[in-house]
Amino acid sequence: MMSRCEQGRSAALRPLALAVLMGAMGTAGPALAQPPEKPEQSRPEGDVPEWLRRAVPNPDDPARQQYSQHQKQRVVAEKELRKLRATYFKAIRNPKIRAEGIVKLHDYNSPALFPSLIEIFQHEQDDVRTAVVDILYLSASDEGDASLTWIAIEGEDPEFRAMAKSRLLERISAGNGASNRVRLVILQGLKSQNDARIGAAAQLAGQLGLFETIPWLINAQLGGSTASTGGAGGDGQGALAWILVGQQQAFVSDLTPVVGESAVAFDPQLSTLTTGTILRVFDAHVVTYRTEVNAALIGLSSRLTGRDMSGLGWNQPAWGQWYRDEGKAMIAAKRDEAQAPAQSPAEAPK
């Protein structure tokens, strides 16, 4: 049985498995349509509502069949990979044994196994993690690039992230740019709630020149959280904090006589009077300035427009206005230019 930590890592790798095995956005099928408010109670046999057709997965979908086959392969191969880890790595220190294990590890180079390689070996020593990154790089595949992107954004160890990032940039600089799978993983990183992952995804978007991520960068450059107790008449939790500037003076608030034989005494009760000013905080809002995201946004927008865009700084409304008035059309023009087929010299207009 897997521990809670292993289960958490498996859950975190599920988006990568889908991105690697099922392709780019939209491959998994159309969006679920809303059902009618009052569906008919009886229909002729075979007359299925359109919304229901979309909701039910199509078993004949080639992408779905491919994903099912890959899942079966992973179940068998993961057992072998865990056995290989226990035999050649983990607590083994002998360099010869570890080198033999790395040679065997290179045999598991099927794209269906890329998420499993990351999950099982991401906490191993550098020699093993370097081998994993090399397997992804040497596959020279879209799936390998998506896996390298996931490590560069989601990897827990900084050195592992740096390895994957350098291999990814080398792969893409030698090819035709970032694929849809790579873009999907970067988009998932920008939508994360983790500042480190958002920053890593933003840096990759800037280095790869992904102009279409600009609106996501605009929204992600500022983060924030709110703490509240519901106000002065709120839910009884009290204030988040308070500051008192005042003066306290003791006085006798009650005096109880004590009578004994040939004796009389008094028992005073002291109280304190506080005068001054108290400041109570019931609500607080924290703003996070994500410098990596802002730098990527300024870099991409400056390359897009051909002028320095740093003057917009952290002004969120100004960025939104620029995107609506100018940036959106320029990004669409760049996309159309990239998708246009290259003309041969003979076909070029004279």
Q: What is the mean pLDDT of the chain?
A: 80
Q: What average pLDDT does this structure show over 311-340?
A: 90
Q: What average pLDDT does this structure show over 155-164?
A: 92
Q: Of the given ranges (57-66, 115-124, 330-339), which has the lowest mean pLDDT? A: 57-66
Q: How many domains does the chain have?
A: 1
Angle at which helix 291-305 crosses helix 328-339, to 10 degrees, equals 70
In this prediction, residue 14 carries a pLDDT of 53
- The yes-or-no verdict on residue 306 having pLDDT over 80 is yes
Tell me what percent of the residues of the chain surpass a pLDDT of 70. 74
Please give the single-letter amino acid code of residue 15: P
> pLDDT band at 32, cuts 50/70/90?
very low
Task: Provide the terminal-to-terminal Cα distance of the chain, rounded to the nearest Å.
Answer: 70
Q: What average pLDDT does this structure show over 100-127?
A: 92
Contacts of 114 (CB under 8 A, 6+ apart): 16, 20, 135, 136, 139, 143, 144, 147
In this prediction, residue 28 carries a pLDDT of 34
Residue whose tokens read 């500042």 = 195
**Within a domain: 80:** no
CA atoms within 13 A on the CB side of 170: 14
Could you read off the pLDDT of 228-281 as tens digits, one per residue?
Answer: 665 554 455 677 888 989 999 998 888 888 887 878 788 888 899 889 998 888
Q: Of the given ranges (163-167, 191-195, 199-203, 294-298), which has the lowest mean pLDDT? A: 191-195
In this prediction, residue 98 carries a pLDDT of 94
Strands (E), the chain: 222-228, 241-260, 263-281, 283-289
Question: How far is Cα 187 from Cα 276, in angstroms, rounded to an integer?
Answer: 53
**Within a domain: 241:** yes
**Within a domain: 233:** yes
Q: What average pLDDT does this structure show over 96-116?
A: 92
For residue 269, count other CB atoms closer than 10 A to its CB. 9
**Within a domain: 163:** no
For residue 88, count other CB atoms closer than 10 A to its CB. 19
In this prediction, residue 37 carries a pLDDT of 41
Question: Residue 150: which of 124, 125, 122, 123 has the closest Cα?
Answer: 122
Please answer whether residues 239 and 284 qualify as being in contact, where contact means their C-beta atoms are separated by less than 8 angstroms. Answer: no
**Within a domain: 333:** no
**Within a domain: 252:** yes
Please answer whether residues 239 and 282 qualify as being in contact, where contact means their C-beta atoms are separated by less than 8 angstroms. Answer: yes
**Within a domain: 253:** yes
**Within a domain: 236:** yes
The boundaries of the domain holding residue 277 are 226-284
Please give the single-letter amino acid code of residue 198: I
